[in-house]
A and B are shown apart, each in its own frame.
Chain A
Protein backbone atom coordinates (compact mmCIF):
# COMPACT_ATOMS: atom_id res chain seq x y z
CA UNK A 1 0.00 0.00 0.00
CA UNK A 2 1.32 3.29 -1.02
CA UNK A 3 1.00 5.76 1.77
CA UNK A 4 3.28 8.58 0.76
CA UNK A 5 1.77 11.62 -0.79
CA UNK A 6 1.89 11.05 -4.48
CA UNK A 7 -0.10 14.13 -5.21
CA UNK A 8 2.48 16.46 -6.65
CA UNK A 9 0.29 18.80 -8.61
CA UNK A 10 -1.33 20.21 -5.53
CA UNK A 11 -1.95 23.89 -5.88
CA UNK A 12 -0.18 26.00 -3.33
CA UNK A 13 -3.37 27.88 -2.56
CA UNK A 14 -5.01 24.74 -1.33
CA UNK A 15 -2.85 25.10 1.79
CA UNK A 16 -5.36 27.43 3.35
CA UNK A 17 -4.08 29.35 6.33
CA UNK A 18 -7.01 28.53 8.55
CA UNK A 19 -8.02 25.03 7.56
CA UNK A 20 -11.67 24.20 8.04
CA UNK A 21 -11.97 20.92 6.26
CA UNK A 22 -8.84 18.83 5.75
CA UNK A 23 -8.66 15.81 3.50
CA UNK A 24 -5.30 14.24 4.26
CA UNK A 25 -3.64 11.42 2.33
CA UNK A 26 -6.96 9.79 1.73
CA UNK A 27 -7.02 6.51 -0.18
CA UNK A 28 -9.85 4.11 -0.76
CA UNK A 29 -9.30 0.48 -1.67
CA UNK A 30 -12.04 -2.05 -2.33
CA UNK A 31 -11.62 -5.79 -2.37
CA UNK A 32 -13.14 -7.33 -5.45
CA UNK A 33 -13.13 -10.90 -6.75
CA UNK A 34 -10.41 -9.75 -9.15
CA UNK A 35 -8.19 -8.42 -6.42
CA UNK A 36 -7.71 -5.04 -4.84
CA UNK A 37 -9.27 -2.04 -6.52
CA UNK A 38 -7.85 1.32 -5.58
CA UNK A 39 -10.41 4.03 -6.24
CA UNK A 40 -8.67 6.98 -4.64
CA UNK A 41 -4.98 7.11 -4.09
CA UNK A 42 -3.55 9.81 -1.87
CA UNK A 43 -5.94 12.70 -2.05
CA UNK A 44 -5.03 15.90 -0.23
CA UNK A 45 -7.27 18.94 -0.08
CA UNK A 46 -7.68 21.72 2.42
CA UNK A 47 -10.79 23.83 2.31
CA UNK A 48 -11.18 27.14 4.11
CA UNK A 49 -14.36 28.13 5.87
CA UNK A 50 -16.93 29.63 3.53
CA UNK A 51 -15.19 28.45 0.38
CA UNK A 52 -17.09 27.24 -2.65
CA UNK A 53 -15.31 24.23 -4.13
CA UNK A 54 -16.34 22.37 -7.26
CA UNK A 55 -15.04 18.92 -8.13
CA UNK A 56 -14.92 17.80 -11.70
CA UNK A 57 -13.74 14.56 -13.26
CA UNK A 58 -14.88 11.76 -15.50
CA UNK A 59 -17.31 9.24 -14.15
CA UNK A 60 -15.55 6.60 -12.10
CA UNK A 61 -12.92 9.01 -10.83
CA UNK A 62 -14.08 8.64 -7.25
CA UNK A 63 -15.53 12.13 -6.76
CA UNK A 64 -18.62 10.74 -5.13
CA UNK A 65 -16.55 8.40 -3.00
CA UNK A 66 -14.53 11.37 -1.80
CA UNK A 67 -17.60 13.41 -0.94
CA UNK A 68 -19.12 10.41 0.79
CA UNK A 69 -16.10 10.38 3.05
CA UNK A 70 -16.69 14.01 3.91
CA UNK A 71 -20.33 13.30 4.62
CA UNK A 72 -19.32 10.23 6.63
CA UNK A 73 -21.23 7.64 4.62
CA UNK A 74 -17.93 6.09 3.68
CA UNK A 75 -14.59 5.91 5.45
CA UNK A 76 -11.12 6.19 3.98
CA UNK A 77 -8.97 3.06 3.86
CA UNK A 78 -5.96 5.13 4.79
CA UNK A 79 -5.66 8.78 5.67
CA UNK A 80 -8.36 10.84 7.26
CA UNK A 81 -10.86 13.61 6.78
CA UNK A 82 -11.06 16.26 9.50
CA UNK A 83 -13.64 18.98 9.98
CA UNK A 84 -12.43 21.66 12.36
CA UNK A 85 -9.83 19.21 13.68
CA UNK A 86 -12.42 16.55 14.43
CA UNK A 87 -12.01 13.32 12.53
CA UNK A 88 -15.05 12.43 10.44
CA UNK A 89 -16.11 8.83 10.92
CA UNK A 90 -19.89 8.90 10.63
CA UNK A 91 -22.61 11.00 9.04
CA UNK A 92 -23.82 14.02 10.93
CA UNK A 93 -26.13 16.98 10.44
CA UNK A 94 -23.17 19.35 10.29
CA UNK A 95 -22.47 17.94 6.81
CA UNK A 96 -25.64 17.91 4.76
CA UNK A 97 -25.89 16.31 1.38
CA UNK A 98 -28.07 17.15 -1.65
CA UNK A 99 -28.40 14.49 -4.31
CA UNK A 100 -29.15 14.71 -8.00
CA UNK A 101 -32.34 12.69 -7.58
CA UNK A 102 -33.62 15.01 -4.81
CA UNK A 103 -34.32 12.09 -2.42
CA UNK A 104 -37.54 13.58 -1.11
CA UNK A 105 -40.17 11.37 0.47
CA UNK A 106 -42.95 11.24 -2.09
CA UNK A 107 -45.83 10.89 0.37
CA UNK A 108 -44.91 14.03 2.28
CA UNK A 109 -45.50 17.66 1.34
CA UNK A 110 -42.54 19.95 0.74
CA UNK A 111 -43.11 21.42 4.17
CA UNK A 112 -43.17 18.02 5.88
CA UNK A 113 -40.05 16.89 4.05
CA UNK A 114 -38.12 19.83 5.43
CA UNK A 115 -39.78 19.56 8.83
CA UNK A 116 -38.74 15.94 9.12
CA UNK A 117 -35.09 16.95 8.90
CA UNK A 118 -35.44 19.93 11.21
CA UNK A 119 -37.29 17.82 13.77
CA UNK A 120 -34.66 15.12 13.64
CA UNK A 121 -31.80 17.54 14.24
CA UNK A 122 -33.52 19.80 16.78
CA UNK A 123 -35.89 17.47 18.63
CA UNK A 124 -36.00 19.72 21.66
CA UNK A 125 -36.89 22.98 20.00
CA UNK A 126 -40.47 24.15 20.48
CA UNK A 127 -42.68 23.14 17.58
CA UNK A 128 -43.51 26.74 16.72
CA UNK A 129 -39.85 27.54 16.29
CA UNK A 130 -39.25 24.47 14.14
CA UNK A 131 -42.17 25.35 11.90
CA UNK A 132 -40.86 28.88 11.64
CA UNK A 133 -37.50 27.52 10.55
CA UNK A 134 -39.08 25.38 7.84
CA UNK A 135 -41.08 28.33 6.55
CA UNK A 136 -38.04 30.55 6.56
CA UNK A 137 -36.04 28.16 4.43
CA UNK A 138 -38.83 27.34 2.00
CA UNK A 139 -39.21 31.07 1.62
CA UNK A 140 -35.49 31.37 0.99
CA UNK A 141 -35.70 29.06 -2.00
CA UNK A 142 -38.89 30.75 -3.19
CA UNK A 143 -41.26 27.94 -2.44
CA UNK A 144 -43.55 29.46 0.19
CA UNK A 145 -46.57 28.96 -2.01
CA UNK A 146 -45.77 25.37 -2.88
CA UNK A 147 -45.17 24.31 0.72
CA UNK A 148 -48.20 22.04 0.83
CA UNK A 149 -47.52 20.32 -2.45
CA UNK A 150 -46.20 16.80 -2.67
CA UNK A 151 -43.03 16.11 -4.69
CA UNK A 152 -45.02 14.64 -7.57
CA UNK A 153 -46.76 17.98 -7.98
CA UNK A 154 -43.46 19.83 -8.20
CA UNK A 155 -41.16 20.32 -11.18
CA UNK A 156 -37.59 19.01 -11.08
CA UNK A 157 -36.23 22.44 -10.26
CA UNK A 158 -38.72 22.89 -7.43
CA UNK A 159 -37.88 19.49 -6.01
CA UNK A 160 -34.22 20.37 -5.97
CA UNK A 161 -35.11 23.62 -4.22
CA UNK A 162 -36.92 21.68 -1.51
CA UNK A 163 -33.87 19.45 -1.12
CA UNK A 164 -31.64 22.51 -0.77
CA UNK A 165 -34.03 24.08 1.74
CA UNK A 166 -34.01 20.83 3.71
CA UNK A 167 -30.23 20.73 3.69
CA UNK A 168 -29.85 24.34 4.79
CA UNK A 169 -32.61 24.41 7.40
CA UNK A 170 -30.53 22.32 9.74
CA UNK A 171 -27.66 24.78 9.54
CA UNK A 172 -24.92 22.48 8.31
CA UNK A 173 -21.36 23.66 8.34
CA UNK A 174 -20.73 22.08 4.98
CA UNK A 175 -23.20 21.70 2.18
CA UNK A 176 -22.31 18.78 -0.07
CA UNK A 177 -23.93 18.69 -3.48
CA UNK A 178 -23.56 15.68 -5.72
CA UNK A 179 -24.24 16.95 -9.22
CA UNK A 180 -27.40 18.66 -8.03
CA UNK A 181 -28.49 20.25 -11.31
CA UNK A 182 -27.59 17.46 -13.71
CA UNK A 183 -31.17 16.45 -14.35
CA UNK A 184 -32.55 19.94 -14.95
CA UNK A 185 -33.04 21.82 -18.20
CA UNK A 186 -30.73 24.70 -19.05
CA UNK A 187 -33.02 27.50 -17.94
CA UNK A 188 -33.88 26.00 -14.57
CA UNK A 189 -30.27 25.03 -14.04
CA UNK A 190 -29.07 28.61 -14.46
CA UNK A 191 -31.77 29.90 -12.15
CA UNK A 192 -30.84 27.44 -9.45
CA UNK A 193 -27.13 28.16 -9.83
CA UNK A 194 -27.87 31.81 -9.23
CA UNK A 195 -30.04 30.99 -6.25
CA UNK A 196 -27.42 28.69 -4.80
CA UNK A 197 -24.81 31.43 -5.03
CA UNK A 198 -27.14 33.87 -3.33
CA UNK A 199 -27.80 31.46 -0.50
CA UNK A 200 -24.13 30.63 -0.20
CA UNK A 201 -23.26 34.30 0.18
CA UNK A 202 -25.99 34.99 2.67
CA UNK A 203 -25.31 31.94 4.82
CA UNK A 204 -21.57 31.79 4.48
CA UNK A 205 -21.77 28.04 4.32
CA UNK A 206 -18.91 26.02 2.94
CA UNK A 207 -19.91 24.22 -0.25
CA UNK A 208 -18.44 21.14 -1.89
CA UNK A 209 -20.09 20.36 -5.17
CA UNK A 210 -19.60 17.71 -7.82
CA UNK A 211 -20.34 18.76 -11.35
CA UNK A 212 -19.75 17.63 -14.89
CA UNK A 213 -20.29 21.06 -16.29
CA UNK A 214 -17.23 23.28 -16.65
CA UNK A 215 -19.32 26.40 -17.15
CA UNK A 216 -21.24 25.71 -13.98
CA UNK A 217 -18.01 25.31 -12.05
CA UNK A 218 -16.50 28.49 -13.48
CA UNK A 219 -19.59 30.46 -12.54
CA UNK A 220 -19.94 29.11 -9.02
CA UNK A 221 -16.64 28.07 -7.54
CA UNK A 222 -13.71 29.74 -5.84
CA UNK A 223 -11.58 26.78 -6.78
CA UNK A 224 -12.15 24.01 -9.26
CA UNK A 225 -10.65 20.69 -8.26
CA UNK A 226 -9.93 18.52 -11.29
CA UNK A 227 -9.56 14.82 -10.64
CA UNK A 228 -7.56 12.35 -12.69
CA UNK A 229 -9.19 9.19 -13.92
CA UNK A 230 -9.74 6.14 -11.75
CA UNK A 231 -8.54 3.69 -10.67
CA UNK A 232 -5.87 5.33 -8.51
CA UNK A 233 -7.60 8.66 -8.99
CA UNK A 234 -6.17 11.69 -7.33
CA UNK A 235 -6.40 15.43 -7.57
CA UNK A 236 -4.82 16.40 -10.83
CA UNK A 237 -4.94 20.14 -10.60
CA UNK A 238 -6.74 22.86 -8.73
CA UNK A 239 -7.82 25.90 -10.73
CA UNK A 240 -8.27 29.20 -8.96
CA UNK A 241 -11.24 31.04 -10.34
CA UNK A 242 -10.52 34.70 -9.85
CA UNK A 243 -13.78 36.34 -10.93
CA UNK A 244 -14.85 38.94 -8.38
CA UNK A 245 -18.03 38.46 -6.46
CA UNK A 246 -20.88 39.16 -6.67
CA UNK A 247 -20.71 37.47 -10.05
CA UNK A 248 -22.70 38.24 -13.13
CA UNK A 249 -22.89 35.49 -15.70
CA UNK A 250 -22.83 37.83 -18.68
CA UNK A 251 -19.90 39.79 -17.27
CA UNK A 252 -17.87 36.67 -16.64
CA UNK A 253 -18.44 35.54 -20.18
CA UNK A 254 -16.99 38.82 -21.44
CA UNK A 255 -13.77 38.20 -19.54
CA UNK A 256 -11.05 36.60 -21.61
CA UNK A 257 -9.83 34.77 -18.47
CA UNK A 258 -13.04 32.81 -18.66
CA UNK A 259 -12.04 31.29 -21.97
CA UNK A 260 -8.49 30.65 -20.86
CA UNK A 261 -9.73 28.78 -17.80
CA UNK A 262 -12.34 26.96 -19.80
CA UNK A 263 -9.88 25.82 -22.43
CA UNK A 264 -7.44 24.83 -19.73
CA UNK A 265 -10.05 22.67 -18.02
CA UNK A 266 -11.15 21.23 -21.37
CA UNK A 267 -7.57 20.39 -22.16
CA UNK A 268 -7.19 18.65 -18.82
CA UNK A 269 -10.38 16.66 -19.19
CA UNK A 270 -10.35 15.86 -22.88
CA UNK A 271 -6.69 15.59 -23.73
CA UNK A 272 -4.43 15.05 -20.76
CA UNK A 273 -6.89 12.93 -18.84
CA UNK A 274 -9.25 11.97 -21.58
CA UNK A 275 -11.61 9.22 -20.67
CA UNK A 276 -11.52 6.13 -22.85
CA UNK A 277 -14.95 5.77 -24.32
CA UNK A 278 -16.29 3.30 -21.77
Chain B
Protein backbone atom coordinates (compact mmCIF):
# COMPACT_ATOMS: atom_id res chain seq x y z
CA UNK B 1 0.00 0.00 0.00
CA UNK B 2 1.50 3.30 -0.99
CA UNK B 3 -0.70 6.17 0.12
CA UNK B 4 -2.50 5.65 3.34
CA UNK B 5 -4.67 8.68 3.99
CA UNK B 6 -7.99 7.40 4.99
CA UNK B 7 -11.07 7.82 2.91
CA UNK B 8 -13.35 9.15 5.62
CA UNK B 9 -11.02 11.74 7.12
CA UNK B 10 -10.08 13.17 3.74
CA UNK B 11 -12.73 15.88 3.52
CA UNK B 12 -11.47 18.36 6.12
CA UNK B 13 -8.36 19.93 4.54
CA UNK B 14 -9.15 22.47 1.85
CA UNK B 15 -6.80 25.48 2.24
CA UNK B 16 -4.53 27.11 -0.30
CA UNK B 17 -1.30 25.31 -1.10
CA UNK B 18 1.12 27.89 0.36
CA UNK B 19 -0.56 27.91 3.72
CA UNK B 20 -0.56 24.16 3.56
CA UNK B 21 3.14 24.07 2.85
CA UNK B 22 3.90 26.46 5.68
CA UNK B 23 1.76 24.45 7.98
CA UNK B 24 3.71 21.38 7.00
CA UNK B 25 7.21 22.87 7.20
CA UNK B 26 6.75 24.90 10.36
CA UNK B 27 7.08 22.00 12.78
CA UNK B 28 10.43 21.18 11.18
CA UNK B 29 11.98 24.66 11.22
CA UNK B 30 10.50 26.16 14.33
CA UNK B 31 12.21 24.04 16.99
CA UNK B 32 15.82 24.70 15.89
CA UNK B 33 15.13 28.46 15.55
CA UNK B 34 13.70 28.56 19.05
CA UNK B 35 16.63 26.56 20.37
CA UNK B 36 19.23 28.88 18.80
CA UNK B 37 17.42 31.97 20.05
CA UNK B 38 17.28 30.49 23.53
CA UNK B 39 20.95 29.68 23.44
CA UNK B 40 21.83 33.24 22.43
CA UNK B 41 19.68 34.67 25.21
CA UNK B 42 21.29 32.48 27.85
CA UNK B 43 24.74 33.35 26.51
CA UNK B 44 23.93 37.06 26.62
CA UNK B 45 22.72 36.74 30.21
CA UNK B 46 25.84 34.84 31.28
CA UNK B 47 28.23 37.25 29.48
CA UNK B 48 26.69 40.71 29.77
CA UNK B 49 28.29 43.60 27.92
CA UNK B 50 31.41 45.21 29.39
CA UNK B 51 32.34 42.24 31.50
CA UNK B 52 35.82 40.76 31.20
CA UNK B 53 36.45 37.40 29.60
CA UNK B 54 34.09 35.94 27.04
CA UNK B 55 32.07 38.54 25.11
CA UNK B 56 28.33 38.14 24.83
CA UNK B 57 26.60 37.67 21.46
CA UNK B 58 25.68 41.34 21.13
CA UNK B 59 29.27 42.39 21.80
CA UNK B 60 30.51 39.85 19.24
CA UNK B 61 28.07 41.20 16.72
CA UNK B 62 29.07 44.83 17.35
CA UNK B 63 32.79 44.14 17.18
CA UNK B 64 32.76 42.03 14.03
CA UNK B 65 29.82 43.15 11.97
CA UNK B 66 32.08 45.33 9.92
CA UNK B 67 34.02 44.08 8.10
CA UNK B 68 34.03 40.40 9.09
CA UNK B 69 30.35 39.66 8.79
CA UNK B 70 29.21 42.09 6.15
CA UNK B 71 32.30 41.91 3.90
CA UNK B 72 33.56 38.38 3.72
CA UNK B 73 35.74 39.15 0.70
CA UNK B 74 37.65 42.35 1.53
CA UNK B 75 41.34 42.17 0.83
CA UNK B 76 43.84 44.45 2.54
CA UNK B 77 46.83 42.48 1.35
CA UNK B 78 48.74 39.78 3.19
CA UNK B 79 46.73 37.77 5.65
CA UNK B 80 44.43 40.71 6.40
CA UNK B 81 41.56 39.44 4.29
CA UNK B 82 37.86 38.72 4.63
CA UNK B 83 36.79 35.46 6.24
CA UNK B 84 35.59 34.25 2.86
CA UNK B 85 39.14 34.27 1.53
CA UNK B 86 40.38 32.45 4.59
CA UNK B 87 37.70 29.82 4.24
CA UNK B 88 38.39 29.42 0.53
CA UNK B 89 42.11 29.01 1.18
CA UNK B 90 41.42 26.36 3.76
CA UNK B 91 38.91 24.66 1.49
CA UNK B 92 41.48 24.57 -1.26
CA UNK B 93 43.93 22.80 0.99
CA UNK B 94 41.25 20.40 2.16
CA UNK B 95 40.24 19.82 -1.43
CA UNK B 96 43.73 18.88 -2.49
CA UNK B 97 44.53 16.79 0.58
CA UNK B 98 41.18 15.07 0.63
CA UNK B 99 41.24 14.27 -3.07
CA UNK B 100 44.66 12.74 -2.74
CA UNK B 101 43.60 10.65 0.20
CA UNK B 102 40.43 9.58 -1.60
CA UNK B 103 42.37 8.38 -4.65
CA UNK B 104 45.06 6.61 -2.66
CA UNK B 105 42.63 5.40 0.02
CA UNK B 106 40.12 3.82 -2.35
CA UNK B 107 42.95 2.18 -4.27
CA UNK B 108 44.53 0.74 -1.14
CA UNK B 109 41.15 -0.22 0.22
CA UNK B 110 40.28 -2.22 -2.90
CA UNK B 111 43.68 -3.86 -2.75
CA UNK B 112 43.38 -5.08 0.80
CA UNK B 113 39.72 -5.92 0.30
CA UNK B 114 40.48 -8.17 -2.65
CA UNK B 115 43.73 -9.67 -1.55
CA UNK B 116 43.87 -11.67 1.64
CA UNK B 117 47.64 -11.40 1.85
CA UNK B 118 47.69 -7.62 1.69
CA UNK B 119 44.84 -7.52 4.13
CA UNK B 120 46.73 -9.57 6.66
CA UNK B 121 49.90 -7.60 6.07
CA UNK B 122 48.54 -4.07 6.18
CA UNK B 123 45.34 -4.05 8.15
CA UNK B 124 46.92 -4.08 11.64
CA UNK B 125 49.13 -1.11 10.72
CA UNK B 126 46.13 0.79 9.36
CA UNK B 127 44.09 0.07 12.46
CA UNK B 128 46.85 1.54 14.61
CA UNK B 129 47.57 4.58 12.45
CA UNK B 130 43.94 5.60 12.21
CA UNK B 131 43.84 6.34 15.94
CA UNK B 132 46.66 8.90 15.74
CA UNK B 133 45.40 12.46 16.16
CA UNK B 134 46.04 14.91 13.27
CA UNK B 135 48.14 17.16 15.45
CA UNK B 136 50.53 14.34 16.27
CA UNK B 137 51.46 14.13 12.60
CA UNK B 138 52.26 17.81 12.44
CA UNK B 139 55.80 17.84 13.83
CA UNK B 140 56.63 14.85 11.63
CA UNK B 141 55.15 16.59 8.62
CA UNK B 142 57.01 19.82 9.32
CA UNK B 143 60.27 17.94 9.60
CA UNK B 144 59.60 15.93 6.50
CA UNK B 145 58.46 18.83 4.35
CA UNK B 146 60.41 22.07 4.44
CA UNK B 147 57.31 23.89 3.23
CA UNK B 148 54.57 24.49 5.82
CA UNK B 149 51.81 24.48 3.21
CA UNK B 150 52.88 21.04 2.00
CA UNK B 151 53.11 19.83 5.56
CA UNK B 152 49.51 20.92 6.11
CA UNK B 153 48.42 19.05 3.00
CA UNK B 154 50.21 15.99 4.27
CA UNK B 155 48.45 16.20 7.61
CA UNK B 156 45.07 16.35 5.89
CA UNK B 157 46.00 13.49 3.64
CA UNK B 158 47.21 11.28 6.46
CA UNK B 159 44.21 12.06 8.66
CA UNK B 160 41.60 11.45 6.04
CA UNK B 161 42.98 8.33 4.42
CA UNK B 162 42.33 5.72 7.13
CA UNK B 163 38.56 5.72 7.21
CA UNK B 164 38.55 5.63 3.41
CA UNK B 165 40.86 2.63 3.26
CA UNK B 166 39.12 0.73 6.00
CA UNK B 167 35.60 1.33 4.74
CA UNK B 168 36.48 0.60 1.14
CA UNK B 169 38.14 -2.64 2.14
CA UNK B 170 35.12 -3.55 4.21
CA UNK B 171 32.84 -2.82 1.28
CA UNK B 172 34.88 -4.92 -1.09
CA UNK B 173 35.04 -7.79 1.34
CA UNK B 174 31.31 -7.64 1.92
CA UNK B 175 30.32 -8.00 -1.71
CA UNK B 176 27.68 -10.71 -1.55
CA UNK B 177 28.92 -14.08 -2.68
CA UNK B 178 26.04 -14.13 -5.16
CA UNK B 179 27.37 -11.15 -7.09
CA UNK B 180 30.76 -12.79 -7.25
CA UNK B 181 29.17 -16.01 -8.40
CA UNK B 182 27.38 -14.14 -11.16
CA UNK B 183 30.71 -12.73 -12.28
CA UNK B 184 32.32 -16.15 -12.12
CA UNK B 185 29.58 -17.86 -14.09
CA UNK B 186 29.64 -15.13 -16.74
CA UNK B 187 33.44 -15.21 -16.70
CA UNK B 188 33.59 -11.42 -16.51
CA UNK B 189 37.10 -10.16 -17.20
CA UNK B 190 38.85 -8.38 -14.32
CA UNK B 191 38.34 -4.88 -15.68
CA UNK B 192 34.63 -5.41 -16.13
CA UNK B 193 34.36 -7.08 -12.75
CA UNK B 194 35.87 -4.01 -11.12
CA UNK B 195 33.71 -1.55 -13.00
CA UNK B 196 30.43 -3.40 -13.05
CA UNK B 197 30.39 -5.29 -9.81
CA UNK B 198 33.12 -4.61 -7.31
CA UNK B 199 33.00 -0.85 -7.45
CA UNK B 200 29.22 -0.34 -7.45
CA UNK B 201 28.82 -2.88 -4.68
CA UNK B 202 31.38 -1.07 -2.55
CA UNK B 203 30.08 2.45 -3.26
CA UNK B 204 27.93 2.78 -0.14
CA UNK B 205 30.84 1.75 2.04
CA UNK B 206 33.21 4.04 0.18
CA UNK B 207 30.95 6.99 0.75
CA UNK B 208 30.62 6.22 4.42
CA UNK B 209 34.41 6.39 4.51
CA UNK B 210 34.54 9.58 2.49
CA UNK B 211 32.01 11.25 4.73
CA UNK B 212 33.96 10.43 7.85
CA UNK B 213 37.12 11.51 6.04
CA UNK B 214 35.83 14.91 4.96
CA UNK B 215 34.89 15.68 8.55
CA UNK B 216 38.31 14.62 9.76
CA UNK B 217 40.15 16.66 7.12
CA UNK B 218 38.23 19.79 8.03
CA UNK B 219 39.22 19.16 11.65
CA UNK B 220 42.79 18.65 10.56
CA UNK B 221 43.08 21.75 8.40
CA UNK B 222 42.12 24.06 11.24
CA UNK B 223 44.62 22.37 13.52
CA UNK B 224 47.31 22.42 10.85
CA UNK B 225 46.83 26.05 9.96
CA UNK B 226 47.02 27.05 13.57
CA UNK B 227 50.72 26.35 13.35
CA UNK B 228 50.99 28.41 10.16
CA UNK B 229 50.24 31.86 11.56
CA UNK B 230 50.60 34.69 9.13
CA UNK B 231 49.29 32.85 6.12
CA UNK B 232 45.80 32.86 4.64
CA UNK B 233 43.50 30.24 6.09
CA UNK B 234 40.81 30.02 8.71
CA UNK B 235 43.09 28.31 11.23
CA UNK B 236 45.77 30.95 10.83
CA UNK B 237 43.10 33.61 11.15
CA UNK B 238 42.06 32.24 14.52
CA UNK B 239 45.59 31.98 15.83
CA UNK B 240 46.38 35.51 14.64
CA UNK B 241 43.21 36.81 16.31
CA UNK B 242 44.13 34.94 19.46
CA UNK B 243 47.57 36.52 19.66
CA UNK B 244 45.84 39.92 19.27
CA UNK B 245 43.21 38.92 21.90
CA UNK B 246 40.37 39.55 19.39
CA UNK B 247 38.02 37.04 20.98
CA UNK B 248 34.97 38.19 19.00
CA UNK B 249 36.77 37.49 15.73
CA UNK B 250 37.60 34.00 16.96
CA UNK B 251 33.98 33.34 17.82
CA UNK B 252 32.83 34.43 14.37
CA UNK B 253 35.52 32.27 12.76
CA UNK B 254 34.44 29.30 14.86
CA UNK B 255 30.85 29.73 13.68
CA UNK B 256 32.12 29.84 10.08
CA UNK B 257 34.11 26.65 10.62
CA UNK B 258 31.09 24.90 12.01
CA UNK B 259 28.85 25.95 9.15
CA UNK B 260 31.39 25.02 6.49
CA UNK B 261 32.06 21.64 8.12
CA UNK B 262 28.34 20.96 8.19
CA UNK B 263 27.95 21.90 4.54
CA UNK B 264 30.90 19.73 3.51
CA UNK B 265 29.49 16.75 5.34
CA UNK B 266 26.08 17.17 3.75
CA UNK B 267 27.64 17.71 0.33
CA UNK B 268 29.52 14.41 0.41
CA UNK B 269 26.45 12.73 1.81
CA UNK B 270 24.36 14.18 -1.01
CA UNK B 271 26.78 13.06 -3.72
CA UNK B 272 26.84 9.67 -2.13
CA UNK B 273 23.07 9.46 -2.02
CA UNK B 274 22.94 10.32 -5.73
CA UNK B 275 25.24 7.43 -6.53
CA UNK B 276 23.82 4.99 -4.04
CA UNK B 277 20.25 5.95 -4.83
CA UNK B 278 17.91 3.03 -5.45
CA UNK B 279 20.71 0.58 -5.15
CA UNK B 280 20.80 -1.17 -1.88
CA UNK B 281 17.28 -1.97 -1.05
Tell me the A residues contacting B by CB distance below 8 Å: 29-33, 36-37, 39, 77
Contacts and interface: CB of A to CB of B under 8 A. Distances in A.
Interface string B1-16: 1111111101000000
B7 A32 contact: no
Contacts of A32: 1-3
Contacts of A30: 1, 3-7
Given A30-B3, A31-B7, 4 more contacts: A29-B7, A30-B4, A32-B2, A33-B3
Nearest to B3: A32
Nearest to A33: B3
A30 B5 CA distance: 7
A253 B5 CA distance: 47
B2 A31 contact: no
Contacts of A77: 6-8
A32 B10 CA distance: 11
A66 to B, nearest CB: 14
Contacts of B3: 30-33
Nearest to B6: A31
Q: Which 4 A-B pairs have the closest CB atoms?
A: A32-B3, A29-B7, A31-B5, A31-B7
Contacts of B10: 31
Interface string B25-55: 0000000000000000000000000000000
23 contacts: A29-B7, A30-B1, A30-B3, A30-B4, A30-B5, A30-B6, A30-B7, A31-B3, A31-B5, A31-B6, A31-B7, A31-B10, A32-B1, A32-B2, A32-B3, A33-B2, A33-B3, A36-B7, A37-B1, A39-B1, A77-B6, A77-B7, A77-B8
Nearest to A39: B1
A77 to B, nearest CB: 6
A204 B59 CA distance: 77
Nearest to B5: A31
Contacts of B7: 29-31, 36, 77
A130 B8 CA distance: 42
Nearest to B8: A77
Nearest to A77: B7
Q: Which of A30, A36, A39, A77 has the most CB of B within 10 A?
A: A30
Contacts of B2: 32-33
A6 B2 CA distance: 27
B10 to A, nearest CB: 5
B250 to A, nearest CB: 45
A37 B4 CA distance: 10
A155 B3 CA distance: 36
A73 to B, nearest CB: 13
Contacts of B4: 30
A25 to B, nearest CB: 16
A134 B8 CA distance: 42
Nearest to B10: A31
B223 to A, nearest CB: 39
A36 B4 CA distance: 11
Contacts of A31: 3, 5-7, 10
A39 B2 CA distance: 13
A29 B9 CA distance: 12
Q: Which of B3, B7, B8 has the most CB of A within 10 A?
A: B7
B26 to A, nearest CB: 24
B268 to A, nearest CB: 32
Contacts of B5: 30-31
B5 to A, nearest CB: 5
